[in-house]
Amino acid sequence: SWSSLYEFIEKISAEKNQPRMALIVKISETMHHHLPPTVKSARRVLNRSPEMVPVDRLTEMDTNCIRWLARQPGKDMVEKASHNQQTLRGIARKESFNTLENKILKEFIRRCEDEARRYLKNEVGNDPILKNSKRHKQVLSFQNLCDNLIKDQKFINVKKPSSGVRPNYVIQNDIRYRKVWSNYLKILRKENQEDQIWDWQSRTWADVSRLLINVGLF
């Protein structure tokens, strides 16, 4: 209807001093206060691995460790440890953040930072009016947040997720990671759409050229 068209024009006019709306703007609105506590309380697991452990810290052994111990010279554990610099082979438990949900979390933060940087460069640029806009300040603040979060010590040994990854139980049921996963998929879809646009660029340009030639002739 004409009334809805008028409202649409008024809405565009009200946003003339704002850079265009984009996915990263919406993500910055919903995730700015969600990411810090998610990173702070990121899920960790305890990995069990056999290694040489000081005698006073040895708490667990498996069958392989017991077989190794039986082959060492000495009558008891003290004598056996003396031949190995007071260490014996045992099970050590180490904390690790290298889980699928944290791989997704780290990759999401990295992609958000890249997307925010592109938005500020392409949509805002050096325009002083746009630089003073609410969206510019919001996306810039979100970019700085992502830059700080990606440097968190928890992410040092967290690897990049493989392509075509499927959500695990934690991602599907933990509300913190479920929200990250949902927005992560939106960014992936956006990048796929941009790739498809580049593939169609030559065909689109040909259509535009034909249209302009027809307009010029008529």
Q: Which of 53-57, 95-99, 170-174 has the highest mean pLDDT?
A: 170-174
* pLDDT tens-digit map of 66-82: 887 778 887 777 767 77
What confidence score (pLDDT) does residue 150 get?
Answer: 95
pLDDT, greater one: 192 or 86: 86
Say yes or no to pLDDT of 116 above 70. Answer: yes
Contact call for residues 133 and 17 (beta carbons, < 8 A):
yes
What confidence score (pLDDT) does residue 195 get?
Answer: 58
Q: What's the pLDDT band for 201 if we cut at 50, 70, 90?
A: low
What confidence score (pLDDT) does residue 60 get?
Answer: 73
User: Of all residues in the chain, what percent are helix, strand and coil, respectively (each to 5)?
Assistant: 65, 10, 25
Mean pLDDT score of the chain: 85
- Does the pTM surpass 0.75? The reply is no
Residue 125 Cα distances to 13, 28, 121, 131, 167, angstroms = 21, 19, 5, 8, 37
pLDDT, greater one: 173 or 67: 173
